[in-house]
């Protein structure tokens, strides 16, 4: 074997050596992912082994594609490669760039997966949007060991450089094997065949495809089977978000009927509903957005850790919506969705970052006689959220960093405790002036870097020694820091209610507490149906309406959506308004079959769907394949063949919500 290796031309051996080194790098990162990031509810070693097998083939494909330029250079130059300083320098620079680029992409992928539970995709570009780079950079700096990572990458690249120099010098010192004519052609052809076979990657009539990695319904297994760099490249698209008028008109009748549009018109595409008001004293409205808070982590949904006792008290004294959903997992998309009444279905960036989608006719602007506030601890230039409010709400007052007396706690601004403390002064002042107000209060500390304070001096972080770790492992939490951040958020909700009571405006205020999306969790199985496996768990969030003396405490199982919040509180306050978008009144019991429109990523593929009390209907955005799941039966079995009429109705509704949203994003301008 050693004799055979020595008789291979040294430039061919150089290509083989560099291919092996690069391949080992991809395998190393796959091993790191598997040991430290991989999470799955599947324990079958055969399935895990298949994921590894496919993943290694994808890694080989990436390696060979990257080695091709170097291989061509070396094979064409042949033995001159070891005597030419220029060719040596070109190869060194190229390999350095390849290793640097791959290492950075893999590190970004691991960080992205740790944060969202998803492989790196083109939406990562939103974090480098103009005006937001500094905040996002600070968040990364405060959340991750950036300096150590940079030092580690630099050291790693130095070792790679030394290995490359060693390999080059060792081969350069050997006697060249002369290859001419058919001998050279044979080696060249053999190299081409080996590379082509490795890139093809399949013992079949079709090449290895990314869809083969999705042989289970499990996101973790699929993530293990894919190569993140190839996945990123395959999914990168520069196509702009747009709409199709003809498709909108096709599905408009179904949406118009569902929404009960005043004057349906398939040509004008009118979605307007006029809601009369009531002549009575106006209550205050405070919407509290709970950062990264899904239903599954809260006490109201049987989480074993019972981390949210204050939320539980609010739910027990108010209205808890057990089946409440946000349209997509993203804080910016949630703020846009609740404010405009439109799901943010953009693929790469967010609607708040799209100038043509910001201008909207919204219900918050119709609270005549109200003072209007938007409050957050950081800066509203984040995700261009400022424009969502300032361009759509007349006279809105924005309170952000620079206004507060408290110092910044982290990249997201002042702590939630300080934000609520100072917001109370604003609310109390309006109350003392007998001026009703509608406020959007946005929390942020239940988010990396999970900064907590002692609050009033009585909040204490828990450690592993303080809790039952066996129970903790079944609760879905990824880390103790994540768990403590949720406890801190819950603590601050108690602080808000206490201040409202002391400030005298509690009984004259309608509070709505809602999660903006679920956080990244380990597999959990204590919910009524397997939402983790179905993909809907990320969008399932708590929603509580708390209004002492104004409502009867109850639990509502009818599905609700983030889009429905403003229509609901406007009616509760007696405000006359026109609804131009897709939300409906959550408390209107005349709606017999309610559905929430959601989008989610499952098995690394995007779906649009509607979910009701019994059925979930989904459509794959890429291939159009649909499925109907009976949540009261076998929730993981596609039953559309058994319920064709239900599937048809829900298909029209799903497509209708999607196409209507695309249209209204561009055509609901003031």
670/654 Cα distance (integer angstroms): 26
Q: Is 490 annotated as a binding residue?
A: no
Buried b (16+ CB within 10 A) or exposed e, 501-517: eebebbebbbbbbbbbb
* Owner of token pair 């993943």: 55
Name the β-bridge partners of 609: 598, 618
Tell me how far CA of residue 23 lies from CA of 56, 119, 230, 250, 643, in angstroms. Answer: 9, 20, 14, 50, 49
16/195 Cα distance (integer angstroms): 10
Mapping DSSP onto H, E and C, the string for 161-197 reads: HHHHHHHHHHHHCCCCCCCCHHHHHHHHHHHHHHHHH
Q: What phi, psi does 204 have (nearest 5°)?
A: -160, 180
Contact indicator for 39, 217 with CB cutoff of 8 Å:
no
Structure tokens at 94: 């190229």
Catalytic pick from 63, 293, 298, 331?
331
21/163 Cα distance (integer angstroms): 9
Closest listed residue to residue 459, CA positions, set 419, 500, 489:
489
The span from the first CA to the last CA of the chain, in angstroms, equals 77
Those residues whose C-beta lies under 8 Å from the C-beta of residue 200, and which sit 6 or more positions away, are 207, 208
Q: Give the count of alpha carbons within 13 A of 492, CB side only.
A: 31
Name the β-bridge partners of 608: 599, 619
Q: What phi, psi does 646 have (nearest 5°)?
A: -65, -40
499/496 Cα distance (integer angstroms): 5
Report H helices in 443-514: 469-474, 480-503
Q: Is 458 annotated as a binding residue?
A: no
279/277 Cα distance (integer angstroms): 7
Q: Is 431 annotated as a binding residue?
A: no
DSSP-assigned letter for residue 38: -
276/576 Cα distance (integer angstroms): 5
The DSSP annotation for 343-411 comes to ----SSS-GGG-HHHH----SGGG-TT-EEEEEESS-TTGGGHHHHHHTTSTT-EEE-TTT-SSPP-BT
Contact indicator for 549, 317 with CB cutoff of 8 Å:
no
Closest listed residue to residue 37, CA positions, set 145, 112, 100:
112
Q: Is 112 annotated as a binding residue?
A: no
Active site residue 83: no
Q: Give the count of alpha carbons within 13 A of 287, CB side only.
A: 28
293/532 Cα distance (integer angstroms): 15
Q: Is 495 annotated as a binding residue?
A: no
Contact indicator for 67, 18 with CB cutoff of 8 Å:
yes
Residue numbers in the known binding site are 291, 331, 447, 516-517
Residue numbers in the known binding site for Mn(2+) are 291, 331, 516-517
Catalytic residue list: 331
Residue numbers in the known binding site for substrate are 447
């Amino acid at each position: 074997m050693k004799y055979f290796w020595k008789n291979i031309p040294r430039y061919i051996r150089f290509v083989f050596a560099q291919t092996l080194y690069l391949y080992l790098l991809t395998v190393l990162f796959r091993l790191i992912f598997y040991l430290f990031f991989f999470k799955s509810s599947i324990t079958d070693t055969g399935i895990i082994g298949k994921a590894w097998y496919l993943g290694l083939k994808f890694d080989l494909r990436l390696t060979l594609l990257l080695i091709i330029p170097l291989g061509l250079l070396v094979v064409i130059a042949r033995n001159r490669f070891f005597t030419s300083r220029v060719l040596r320098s070109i190869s060194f620079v190229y390999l350095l760039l390849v290793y640097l680029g791959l290492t950075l992409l893999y590190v970004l992928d691991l960080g992205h997966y740790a944060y969202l539970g998803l492989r790196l995709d083109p939406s990562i570009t939103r974090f480098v949007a103009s005006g937001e780079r500094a905040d996002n950079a600070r968040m990364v700096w405060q959340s991750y060991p950036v300096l150590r990572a940079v030092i580690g990458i630099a050291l790693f690249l130095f070792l790679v450089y030394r290995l490359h120099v060693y390999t080059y010098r060792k081969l350069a010192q050997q006697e060249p094997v002369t290859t001419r004519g058919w001998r050279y052609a044979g080696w060249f052809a053999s190299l081409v065949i080996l590379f082509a076979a490795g890139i093809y990657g399949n013992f079949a009539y079709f090449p290895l495809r990314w869809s083969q990695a999705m042989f289970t319904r499990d996101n973790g297994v699929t993530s293990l089977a894919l190569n993140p760099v190839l996945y990123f490249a395959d999914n990168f698209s520069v196509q702009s978000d747009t709409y199709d008028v003809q498709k909108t008109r096709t599905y408009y009748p179904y949406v118009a009927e569902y929404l009960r549009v005043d004057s349906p018109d398939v040509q004008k595409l009118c979605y307007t509903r006029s809601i009369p008001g009531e002549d009575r004293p106006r209550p205050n409205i405070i919407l509290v957005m709970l950062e990264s808070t899904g239903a599954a982590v809260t006490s109201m949904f049987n989480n074993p850790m019972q981390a949210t006792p204050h939320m539980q008290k609010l739910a027990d004294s108010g209205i808890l919506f057990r089946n409440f959903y946000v349209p997509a997992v993203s804080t910016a998309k949630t703020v846009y969705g609740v404010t405009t009444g439109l799901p943010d279905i953009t693929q790469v960036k967010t609607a708040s970052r799209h100038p043509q989608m910001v201008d909207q006719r919204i219900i918050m602007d119709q609270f005549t006689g109200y003072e209007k506030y938007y409050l957050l601890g950081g800066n509203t230039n984040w995700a261009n959220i400022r424009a969502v409010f300032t361009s759509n709400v007349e006279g809105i007052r924005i309170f952000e960093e620079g206004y507060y007396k408290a110092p910044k706690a982290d990249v997201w601004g002042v702590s939630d405790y300080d934000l609520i403390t100072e917001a109370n002064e604003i609310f109390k002042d309006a109350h003392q002036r007998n001026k009703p107000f509608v406020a959007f209060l946005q929390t942020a500390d239940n988010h990396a870097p999970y900064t907590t304070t002692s609050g009033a001096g009585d909040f204490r972080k828990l450690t592993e020694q303080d809790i039952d770790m066996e129970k903790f492992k079944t609760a879905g939490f990824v880390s103790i820091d994540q768990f403590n951040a949720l406890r801190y958020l819950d603590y601050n909700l108690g602080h808000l209610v206490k201040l409202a009571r002391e400030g005298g405006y509690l009984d004259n205020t309608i509070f709505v507490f809602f999660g903006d999306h679920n956080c990244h969790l380990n597999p959990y199985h204590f919910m009524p149906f397997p939402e983790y496996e179905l993909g809907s768990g990320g969008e399932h969030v708590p929603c509580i309406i708390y209004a002492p003396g104004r409502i009867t405490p109850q639990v509502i199982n009818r599905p609700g959506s983030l889009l429905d919040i403003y229509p609901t509180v406007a009616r509760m306050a007696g405000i006359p308004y026109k609804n131009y978008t897709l939300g409906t009144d959550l408390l209107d019991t005349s709606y017999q079959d309610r559905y929430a429109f959601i989008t989610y990523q499952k098995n690394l593929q995007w779906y649009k769907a509607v979910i009701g009390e019994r059925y979930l209907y989904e459509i794959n955005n890429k291939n159009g394949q649909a499925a109907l799941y009976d949540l009261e039966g076998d929730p993981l079995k596609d039953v559309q063949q058994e319920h064709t009429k239900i599937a048809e109705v829900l298909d029209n509704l799903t497509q209708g919500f999607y196409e209507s949203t695309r249209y209204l994003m561009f055509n609901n301008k003031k």
